[in-house]
Amino acid sequence: MTKSISVLLLILLSIPLISAEEDISRKIYHSQYLVLDSTLTTKIKIQPQNGGARLEAVGAEINFFPRETKLQKILERRYTPEAEPLTRDGDVLNFVWPRPEAGIPLELEMKTKLRVNNNPTRITKKVPFPFPTQSLPEKVQQYTQLSKIINSNPAIIRLASQLAEGEDDMVVVVDKAAAWVTQNIQYNLSTATADATQPATWVLEHKEGVCDELTSLFSAILRSLKIPVRFVAGISYTNSDLFQNKWGPHGWAEVYFPEYGWIPYDVTYGEYGYVDPSHIFSKESLDAEKITSRFNWRGKDIDLDIGEFTAQVNIVEYGPEVEEQLDIDVELEKGAVGFGSYNLIKATARNLRDYYQSFDLHLAKTTKLEIVGDAKQHVLLKPGEEKNLFWIVKLQDDLEKNFIYTFPISVYTTGNISDKKMFKAIEGGLVLSEEKVKKKLETLKQGPAQEKTSELSMQCKSRDASLYVGEETMIICIVTNQGNTLLQSLNVCLEQQQCKREEIGITQSKSVQLVYQGKTQTPGKQELVITATSENPKIEEEATLELSVLDKPVVLIENLMLPEHVNYDENYVITFGLKKASTANPKKLVVKIEANHVEKEFTIDELIADQPFQIEYVGNDLASGENTVQVKVIYEGEKKDSFVVTAEKVIVLENLNFWQKVQVFFGTLGNAVMDVLT
């Protein structure tokens, strides 16, 4: 007796039939060129504030309009009112309405007929990474600098380094950054991003944004790696259900590749190394701030209500369809499995062109078959390169018994390049576990190890050109990561004693400050050794710094002698000595002797030996009673810094008669006044 088996030959793919709108989208995105009629319009309402209001003229300065570029040719222009370039390079258009009438709205209209080509510069060979910023053209270097919106923080620097780690090809690095943003940042028309563009740091934290924010984060990642990127504002087409008007403002990026120039990347649309011909280039800028136009007027008691710019685009002509030069070959781990089994799908993608190409490959969904992970996978192919992509699928357990199922497996691109294979599911057939399939996948995915380079430069200097014995100073080292590996635990040490641990991203520089504590007691040249070491990756870098250690100049005032008592008419002598108590010679000495506001001053260019002093004073220069006699010496060292040393003794003026007391009083008063005046 034989068992009856029914056969279900095909389970339909869950890909809907192509609608008319999707067919238009396909034609737009895959045309070699588009000829477009673009119209940008805004209305201006004049609002008098009172009966005495008057208006002589209204002007507008507009910097958002279609430009002539390498990919974009302007065929016709028509502006209402007539416009004139406001700047020499034509970057700003100036519109004027003379003597407008109150109550009649003004209209600004910019009509442009243009042809947009879908043939960007293609990269045919490896672009070395990293590269020195100084090798870039001067006008390009500014696009490696961070800005208000395209900003950065340690999290962005770390992400950029992780994406670039082990890579030595700039094309690969840029593609990985673009793919990360497309896959990890959700497009969200929230109120937070509707009115003002959020900075890149905000976007990474919140994992959401619109085209401007996605582009800003992509740009910030690249600029953190010293890769030049600029923001482009324009108009483009979208087939998204989020937008009623399918043509509207859009933002994307252009990346500068040495030897090739500026190449477009649209991370919102997933177009890397090109943009489809619906992209109308209207403005490029260093940052991603909202496009602003400036309106002005001459008059009295007038306000203007400026409407939003609206975009209307009509397609005049489609070019031929672009052929994606890619070959796809699908293979299955098993041609037949049992119910509930896992299976492994391999798609080999081959680049048939002599330049880099970037693709998204999709595994078509099939009923009764679950895709483990993402159905879409991204791949960058070098000229002539082929790569393998893998998907794991799982059959449902509740398939009908007594049936043989045949499952179609189709891998395709949006350009309709595809390959299809079939496998069968049979009750009681071989059941592959998820663990076994994943283990097989790990074996197949093993490829050549990345070539990681760990190079750094370290330049150190002292805060002070020279210092005295025992004096502290700051050692400042600029440490630059010149390799393609994130340095997470780099130890920078001064004389193997004081150390700081740093994390330095790829292409990043960090200022490391270490304190030299001046332990040496011997003047002369002092060589310091600063080391930068890391275990993973292995780094041993050393820098030497020569310090000039000086003997601090020291002057002592010795043997200050004068009488303890003196009479009014009596002369007295002050004696003391200056002792050079250092190896270094004190310089530019000023010696001041003061008693009762009477000062005598002496100068010495350089004290090369001990110097005695003997100065004669008169008793009537003193005040009645006790007087303090002070000797002050001000001098300089080799660093032209100033030092002060003082010594004091008391002398008593005594035995004064009445008239002597009067004279002393007025003399002391006069000396004090002179001190104040001088």
CATH code of 580's domain: 2.60.40.10
Calpha distance 54→410 (Å, rounded): 70
CATH number assigned to the domain comprising residue 88: 2.60.40
Q: Are residues 249 and 167 in the same domain?
A: yes
Whether 267 contacts 360, CB under 8 Å: no
Q: Are residues 525 and 538 in the same domain?
A: yes
Calpha distance 152→160 (Å, rounded): 10
Strand pairing category for 642-654 and 555-561: unpaired
Q: Are residues 600 and 666 in the same domain?
A: yes
Calpha distance 380→362 (Å, rounded): 14
Q: Are residues 340 and 441 in the same domain?
A: yes
DSSP of 559-582: EEE--SEEETT-EEEEEEEEEE-S
Per-residue pLDDT, 18: 46
Q: From 584, 574, 646, select the one nearest 612 (Cα to Cα).
A: 574
pLDDT higher than threshold 70 for residue 8 = no
Residue 4 falls inside a structural domain: no
Which span out of 97-106, 176-185, 237-246, 616-625 was modeled with the highest average pLDDT? 176-185
Residue 120: band (very low, low, confident or very high) from pLDDT cuts 50, 70, 90? very high
Residue 270 falls inside a structural domain: yes
Whether 526 contacts 484, CB under 8 Å: no
Calpha distance 145→287 (Å, rounded): 10
Helices (runs of H) and strands (runs of E) counted in the chain: 9, 42
* Order of strands, sheet of 54-62, starting from the edge strand that comes earlier in the sequence: 83-85, 93-98, 54-62, 294-300
Q: From 340, 440, 432, select the one nearest 390 (Cα to Cα).
A: 440
Looking at residue 18, the DSSP 8-state letter turns out to be P
Q: Looking at the 3D structure of the chain, how many domains does it have?
A: 5
Question: Can you give the pTM of this predicted structure?
Answer: 0.82
Residue 128 falls inside a structural domain: no
User: What angle do the packed helices 154-164 and 170-184 form, to 10 degrees?
Assistant: 120
Residue 508: band (very low, low, confident or very high) from pLDDT cuts 50, 70, 90? very high
Last residue of a domain, one of 487, 521, 550: 550
Whether 629 contacts 609, CB under 8 Å: no
Q: Are residues 545 and 573 in the same domain?
A: no
3-state secondary structure 239-251: CCCCCCCCEEEEE
Q: Are residues 141 and 111 in the same domain?
A: no
Residue with tokens 């004090």: 672
Per-residue pLDDT, 468: 87
Can you tell me whether residue 638 is helix, strand or coil?
coil
pLDDT higher than threshold 90 for residue 293 = no
Percent of the chain with pLDDT over 90: 63
**233-247, 329-343, 354-368: lowest mean pLDDT where?**
233-247
Q: Are residues 366 and 263 in the same domain?
A: no
Whether 609 contacts 597, CB under 8 Å: no
Per-residue pLDDT, 504: 94
Residue 448: band (very low, low, confident or very high) from pLDDT cuts 50, 70, 90? low
Q: Are residues 656 and 567 in the same domain?
A: yes
Domain hosting residue 408, numbered range: 323-445
Residue 643 falls inside a structural domain: yes
Residue 402: band (very low, low, confident or very high) from pLDDT cuts 50, 70, 90? confident
Residue 37 falls inside a structural domain: yes
Q: Is the dihedral of CA 276, 279, 281, 283 positive or negative?
A: negative
Per-residue pLDDT, 9: 45
Can you tell me whether residue 621 is helix, strand or coil?
helix
CA distances (Å), origin 399, targets 11, 309, 431: 12, 57, 14
The number of beta carbons lying within 10 Å of the beta carbon of residue 149 is: 27
- Residue spans of alpha helices (H) in 189-246: 191-194, 200-206, 211-223
Per-residue pLDDT, 16: 41
Last residue of a domain, one of 397, 422, 445: 445
Give the pLDDT confidence of 72-89 residue by residue, as tens digits: 999 999 999 998 887 777
Q: Are residues 441 and 364 in the same domain?
A: yes
Region 359-365: what's the mean pLDDT?
Answer: 93
Region 458-473: what's the mean pLDDT?
Answer: 88
Region 117-142: what's the mean pLDDT?
Answer: 94
Residue 13 falls inside a structural domain: no
Residue 48: band (very low, low, confident or very high) from pLDDT cuts 50, 70, 90? confident
pLDDT higher than threshold 70 for residue 638 = yes
Which span out of 22-36, 408-422, 549-563 was modeled with the highest average pLDDT? 549-563
Last residue of a domain, one of 523, 550, 577: 550
Q: Are residues 88 and 179 in the same domain?
A: no
Q: Are residues 462 and 493 in the same domain?
A: yes
pLDDT higher than threshold 80 for residue 368 = yes
Region 623-651: what's the mean pLDDT?
Answer: 93
Per-residue pLDDT, 2: 37
Q: From 221, 94, 117, 120, select the one nearest 163 (Cα to Cα).
A: 221
Q: From 511, 514, 452, 450, select the one nearest 482 (Cα to Cα).
A: 452
Region 244-254: what's the mean pLDDT?
Answer: 91
Q: Is the dihedral of CA 257, 260, 261, 265 positive or negative?
A: negative
Residue 5 falls inside a structural domain: no
Q: Are residues 412 and 521 in the same domain?
A: no
Residue 472 falls inside a structural domain: yes
Region 194-223: what's the mean pLDDT?
Answer: 92
Per-residue pLDDT, 361: 94
Region 537-541: what's the mean pLDDT?
Answer: 89
